[in-house]
Structure 1
């Protein structure tokens, strides 16, 4: 049922997305066109969970308290930090060239509008792929790893429609999907994966100017990777299609594990 709702709400955004980077469109119109579909997807997930599954929305992992905000902050920091490391490794090793100065970012209205969009995308995809899918499967299956793998696999296949998609890119998206699943399971909360998802995408596209899963937003910096090894940069799909992303997703997993050990027991209760 939810898949039907997701498709109905998302189709307009899929078609309009082809226009998102057309310079003839104004930033606020772009935000409206893309954000509308994303907000619709969020609402469809929440409404189906509440009225079809007949469960409270907070049981998806959306409780608000000091611990959840700490998790959210860690996710925001980690996602941005991992993408920053990828950028500087590629820059230092000569795998990308920076047009202009590192100390003269090109601030524009896109810096703000796309932040709003990536916040909405982070909530939308985590509520659906981690919250709804994992919680629904949890009621039917006892295997934790099955929940991880199925959520990550569906997440990866969902990105198979993106432009410039590559096999390596889909593998890495599946890998980061596993990381998000671990974050969700370890904290019993969506806040950490939502935070990571937001800054991973935002720093990737709108700070450092990389393609984001095959799409090409407006960055604070303009870069070129034309003469670089696609194995490392990911080519037109962006860093998610490269080996460095694989490495830093794994590093992010170790960092998350360390954080969760120090974090202690969760205050969240698994409600069904």
Structure 2
């Protein structure tokens, strides 16, 4: 197994249970974070769930026996999906569980599209700016004598009362359970999840020549219909581009290898 195998497992899990995460939102994220605490604390459990000698059925049975009556059906489905995949190292399972929980927390922001995700990202980055400006705050957030509740309360005050529920949860999680990182680094790691989801709402379009406003409007309208969501256009002009246009939305790329879709887009632009 390689580190790439764990990345592939996480990507496959997000693809498989993505709708469950978005529907479950913050409530589901809280459940998954609570299970992550158990996995982080229990070495034998972590080893069992990542042991390639254990069959998928056996791992699923273990998840059922431990969490089947303690979590929602949505959380159980996510946990069993993760448990059924291959991991390069024990820690990779926990790291992936954290990422999946963060995806669930951002699901509610994603319902407002790119603007909602940008707002959530702004909350997390604003918290980090406040924390990094004060050595006293950083010491308080990392003080081993401070209880988890006290650190969480301090984080909530810094974040402010107008923060979203997802923002409060992610910051609280980063501060109270940073999993070996400094709190600001843990916040940044969770902010990376939000940024990854933001990219799903940005259409990065590279064209060989400058487009006028009408062409841009027709292009983004066509892309929104093709991808089924309200995309934000990021337009780049590259005269050396072969084929005239290249579109990337998240990991989905439309280029010369998909000429029929390109031809349709170019026809709409020229109309």
Instruction: State the TM bucket, normalised to the shorter chain.
Output: under 0.3
Looking at secondary structure, tell me which structure has more strand per residue: 2
Greater RCO (Cα-Cα under 8 Å, separation 6 or more): 1
What TM-score, normalized by structure 1, do the two folds share? 0.27
What TM-score, normalized by structure 2, do the two folds share? 0.27
